[in-house]
Structures are given as structure tokens and as C-alpha cells.
Amino acid sequence: MHYSWYSFEVLEGLWNVASEGLKARDYDGIQPFLILLQHMIEAHGSTSPQYRTVTESIMRNVFEAIIKPKRQYWQFMEKMTDFVIKIG
């Protein structure tokens, strides 16, 4: 996380790790990826220019590419709803 402060490539790599983990895991295995995603989103308010430019697209991708395809699985959606409320 700290190294990604100035490096867009590292930030993109972190996003790939989080998104692939959320896509590949079931509801009981997504917590570490949600924590990573939470830290990435929380860094939005910081002075890092990398985070400012990608936070909106990260959230759009979370909803369109990760949450939307799994919306029929109630346990996954329960976890994701808790996550969205927490970061909101």
C-alpha cells in the first residue's frame, strides 16, 4: 500500500489482486480482499494523485464487474452490503 502512493503500476497491481480475489472467492474468503479494497478507497482523501484519479473507476468496477454478477448469492451480497455501508 505504501509503495503504491507514488506508483500507478503498483496501484493497478493492488487493484488486480483485490478484484481477482473478489471474483474468485466465495463469501467466506473475500474478507482480506475487502480490507485491501477498503485501504485503497480510504487513501482517496489523501494527497496521492494516483488514488484521486482511480478511486471512482475502482468503485464503478466493484459494482459492475464484481457485485452485479454475484447479486443472486445472498451471503456474498450480505458481505458486500456490509462493506459498502462501512466505507460509506
User: Of 26, 27, 29, 3, which Cα lies nearest the Cα of 14?
Assistant: 3
End-to-end CA distance of the chain: 21
pTM of the model: 0.74
Q: Is 73 left (phi over 0), alpha (psi -120 to 50) or beta?
A: beta
Quote the CA–CA distance of 49 and 27 in Å, as a whole number.
32
Quote the CA–CA distance of 76 and 64 in Å, as a whole number.
15
Written as tens digits, the pLDDT of the chain (88 aa) is 777 777 778 888 888 898 888 888 888 888 999 888 888 877 765 666 666 667 777 777 777 878 788 878 888 888 888 888 887 7
